[in-house]
Amino acid sequence: MNNKIAAIILGAGKGTRMKSDLPKVMMPVCGKPMVKHIIDTLEEMKVDEIVTVIAPDGDIVKKEVAPYKTCVQDKQLGTGHAVNCSASLLKDFDGPIMVIFGDTPLIKKETFERSVNKVKEGYSVVVLGFRPEDPARYGRLVMKGDVLDRIVEYKDATEEERTINFCNSGFMAFDGKVLFEILNKIGNENAAGEYYLTDAVKVASEMGLKCTAFEGDEKEVASANTREELAMLEKFLENRKNA
């Protein structure tokens, strides 16, 4: 594996629940769009390739992330489909590839680096987990020792699985050599008819590849879907700066 690192930022979401016409990743946290916080962190760790997945009307995001590349997700067919939209740009990339949700702007450089190191250790899929005060409806990470066996969505979890408090943050890292092969094997046999990135763990395991998860801080993986959550991110970031 080469030492180059790539990142895919998922930035095609709309700001509907923010009651804004702006794409969600353009909503500001401490005066800067969420997506710009992520790019600043990636630049700090000298990531070699950054690709942002945008909506067909995502020109404002395209301008914000320039000079880095973008690709368009024509239809909202799920997170797995969104990542796969970058295949034409990254299909020959054989280093670690991080997949970052554009509404999680507080993940630290050290956490990204930990995920990359896990890929370099031989894991094909690496998931960032966390232990929230209220696990509520988060997907559960089912571990067998150091191996991530599967991600179970809350609605599909058994009573026993719902007692697990190790939850999925959404952030994942992959071995670039197998990422798109994994994505192409993900199906959409679910109620929404969408291709879920979380299914990558099951697919990779069936391919005989190793998956793992490691623990991050709840505040670091916080995301924003509403104005209230946006204000919470600002508070977390201000506290971090003042610490």
Tens digits of residue pLDDT in 84-135: 999 999 999 999 999 999 999 999 999 999 999 999 999 999 999 999 999 9
**Is 241 part of a structural domain of the chain?**
no
Decide if 162 is catalytic. Answer: no
- Report the number of distinct structural domains present in the chain: 1
Q: What domain range is 182 assigned to? A: 6-232
- Secondary structure letter of residue 236 according to DSSP: H
**Is 112 part of a structural domain of the chain?**
yes
Are 11 and 50 in contact by the 8 Å Cβ rule? The answer is no
**Is 46 part of a structural domain of the chain?**
yes
pLDDT score, position 137 = 85
Are 142 and 152 in contact by the 8 Å Cβ rule? The answer is yes
3-class DSSP assignment, residue 23: strand
d(CA 200, CA 170): 12
Tens digits of residue pLDDT in 23-72: 999 999 999 999 999 999 999 999 999 999 999 999 999 999 999 999 99
Are 86 and 54 in contact by the 8 Å Cβ rule? The answer is no
Tens digits of residue pLDDT in 147-163: 999 999 888 889 999 99
**Is 214 part of a structural domain of the chain?**
yes
**Of the residues 17, 131, 137, 240, which is catalytic?**
17
Q: What angle do CA 60, 77, 126 make, to 5 degrees?
A: 90
pLDDT score, position 14 = 80
C-alpha distances (whole Å) from 49 to each of 46, 137, 221 are: 9, 33, 22
**Is 77 part of a structural domain of the chain?**
yes
**Is 144 part of a structural domain of the chain?**
yes
Q: Is the predicted pLDDT of residue 16 greater than 80, yes or no?
A: no
Backbone angles phi, psi at 170, to 5 degrees: 105, -35
Q: Is the predicted pLDDT of residue 6 greater than 80, yes or no?
A: yes
Q: Is the predicted pLDDT of residue 20 greater than 90, yes or no?
A: no
Query: pLDDT tier at 180 (50, 70, 90 boundaries)?
Result: very high
| Chain length of the chain | 243
Q: Give the CATH number for residue 68.
A: 3.90.550.10
